[in-house]
Structure 1
Amino acid sequence: MTIENNKAALAAAGALACLLCANAAAQSSVELYGLIGTYLGSVKRSGEPQAVTQLNGGGLTTSFLGLRGSEDLGSGNRIVWSLESFYRPDTGEQGRNATDPFWSRNAWVGVEGSFGRLTLGRQTNPMYQQMLQLSPFGTSVVFSPLATQSFVAAYGSNVLGDTVWNNVIRYTTPRVGGVRASIDYGPGEQAGRAGVANLGVHADYNDGPWSAAVSAQRLRVNILTPLPVEQKAWMAGVAYDFGPVKVYGNAGHAGIDGGNTSRLLDAGLSVPVGARGAILLESARTRLTPARGANTQRRTTSLGYDYRLSKRTDVYLIHTGDKKTGAGYAATNALGIRHAF
């Protein structure tokens, strides 16, 4: 997408938001929302030759702009939809990178009622989304050891595929007794190969101080490209809030038939400091077992302090250490701010 097309798309999105909001009272509920965040720091991962000093977008949460809405159909049913776009506030560019589509974070429409929710389109992978409640650093692809070792290429990208899946048909159950489940099916859209499709089964539990989630997926199409061999992965985790401290624990496994396998263990905690602050600590270790050759390991640990300036704005200071087999220890140190709107 060219810069001119980006500007045109953003202008169209802004005009659409204004139009929708003007008609919302009469026709439906429409909301414009998002998050903007940046961080300044020295970034280096184990095995990289030099640290890079950078002012970057995102940080604890990737910056995005979104529109969502609903329309009442009666009898307790309604149409629901969401359009969300990642962007980079450090450069003003659209997307997490140059390859992202415009509505890169979510682009789906569906129906919701007492039966649950059925949605169709580009949707966030629940295996990634569940990390929001299973890591003290949330879904951060910069600072969360759980998210980086699972989905970020620079840390091994042990779970193949993006954090967002294309062409998804998703059914989500109502929450019953704290439990909610969903199933994802993503046709690979390959002529004559109906079986080339992604599949995910997920469940989460929230009740008082307890949070838990389990997720399993079969990946046959990586974004738009069919894989030569499918990957199967699962992840499970639990968190408990004791009050003075909240603890987290996760385990995961990913394997390609006849090829490499990875096993992940992760633990973390968050400790409130006063009414607005919190100390965050998390460490993940992944062991890679290749089809041939010796095992290797990678350990990533993050220590941070997060302070809320207001209900929607926080600042944070984070140190991340990274060490993999055959390479030296590397450190990332960053100061960041984020604001939700």
Structure 2
Amino acid sequence: MNVRSLGALALVCTAAWAMTPRAAQAQTSVTLYGLVGLDIASSKRSNGPTAAFAEQSPGLTAPYWGIRVNEELGAGYRAIAVLESFFQPTSGGMGRTAADPFWGRNSYVGIAGPFGRVTLGRHTNLLYLAEQVANPFQASILFSPLVMQTFTAPYGGSMLGDSVWNNGIQYTSPNLNGLTATAVYAPGGFAGANGTYNAALSTLYAGGSLTAVATVQRTRVVAGVASPTQNAYLVGGAYDFSLFKVYGALQGLRTDSTGIGAHTYEAGLAVPLTPVLTALAEWAYTRRSAPHNAATGRNTGSAGLDYVLSKRTDLYLLTVCDRLSGHGTAMTYAGGIRHLF
């Protein structure tokens, strides 16, 4: 039995112990949850190799499972902890790839109360969360053009680091009439280099039909190694007109010393066709600059249908059209399933 298997077994045993009456008397709750999903796709990108036909995971959403712990401390305060792991249904492997740590999605502990929430550990990147507010395909690295052109290197993504940050000290404010703010500071841990850290600030408004987000971040540490300083921002949101929902975002980044910069413009649409069937569409254009005034532009568009079978299960059919300047248009076609538990 390998180390990952032993770790999983130990945590399942811990969760089982926590859900005994003894834990209940201490006003502690432990929740096991997650998502399983994959699709069958013929995938091709502009300037890429010939189309490949295969099952793929992540599909529309990266599969994961997690354990959430809440303990009531009194006076409105709670101790909280989250452990989440990605996995690959296509092969049974852990992580999105073999490079992921076991608890690759989130792993943090903290205190929540009237003041808000403070957590320590590994957290999902705030700019990645902001992108999910501003596009109809949410977290998808394979079908959201905004996310693809930011975090997916084959689609020209120039964002330094992963969609998850290590060593974070994160604070989230209380909700004030729909407005919340989140700040994270992630020290690099380099001796004599206290200025080498990652930091981000995000504000989110959700009230009525409007959802709006603004995020800025500075990255100086990638995978535990000091990197060139990169500054990035995103402003965007969504408005629900009842008959349809529109999305939009403007995003930019610049990396010091390399001269690499990028500006992305995105628009999206979700149209409920029936109570269980929704049409989704999104387009993004990124203009990427590099040293010596070299520049490239990329247009990526996605469209498809999402059919809700139940409260926890849905089916989808999607297509992606991709074109990099100077190269031909490429198409991707996919059909898949997701199940929440």
The TM tier, using the shorter chain, reads: over 0.9
Equivalences for 1:1-341 in 2 at 5 Å? 4-22=2-20, 23-27=22-26, 28-227=28-227, 229-258=228-257, 259-341=259-341
Decide which moves more: 8-17 or 305-314.
8-17
Once the two structures are superposed, residues 253-312 of structure 1 have per-residue CA deviations (whole angstroms, 9 ceiling, x without a partner) of 000125111000000100001110100000000001222133210111000100000011
Corresponding residue SS for 2:103: coil
Query: Any conservation in 2 of the 1:24–1:30 contact (CA below 8 Å)?
Result: no
Distance 1:157 1:223 in 2: 17
Query: Any conservation in 1 of the 2:185–2:200 contact (CA below 8 Å)?
Result: yes
Normalised by the size of structure 2, how large is the TM-score? 0.97
Query: Any conservation in 1 of the 2:58–2:96 contact (CA below 8 Å)?
Result: no
Residue 235 of structure 1 deviates from its aligned partner by 0.5
Kindly provide the amino acid, as one letter, of the partner of residue 35 in structure 1: L
Distance 1:293 1:126 in 2: 30
Query: Any conservation in 1 of the 2:213–2:236 contact (CA below 8 Å)?
Result: yes
Distance 1:289 1:131 in 2: 21
Distance 1:177 1:327 in 2: 48
Corresponding residue SS for 2:335: strand
Distance 1:239 1:289 in 2: 28
* Structure 1 segments (4+ residues) deviating >6 Å: none
Query: Any conservation in 2 of the 1:187–1:194 contact (CA below 8 Å)?
Result: yes
Q: What percentage of residue pairs aligned between the two structures are identical? A: 43
Distance 2:241 2:249 in 1: 18
Decide which moves more: 161-170 or 15-24.
15-24
Distance 2:9 2:192 in 1: 40
Once the two structures are superposed, residues 111-160 of structure 1 have per-residue CA deviations (whole angstroms, 9 ceiling, x without a partner) of 01110000000010111112222111011011011111111111112221
Query: Any conservation in 2 of the 1:37–1:62 contact (CA below 8 Å)?
Result: yes
Corresponding residue SS for 2:10: helix
Once the two structures are superposed, residues 63-121 of structure 1 have per-residue CA deviations (whole angstroms, 9 ceiling, x without a partner) of 00100011111111111110000000110000000110000000000001110000000
Distance 2:268 2:51 in 1: 26
For structure 2, the residue ranges without an aligned partner over 5 or more in a row are none
Residue 337 of structure 1 deviates from its aligned partner by 0.2
For structure 1, the residue ranges without an aligned partner over 5 or more in a row are none
Kindly provide the amino acid, as one letter, of the partner of residue 68 in structure 1: R
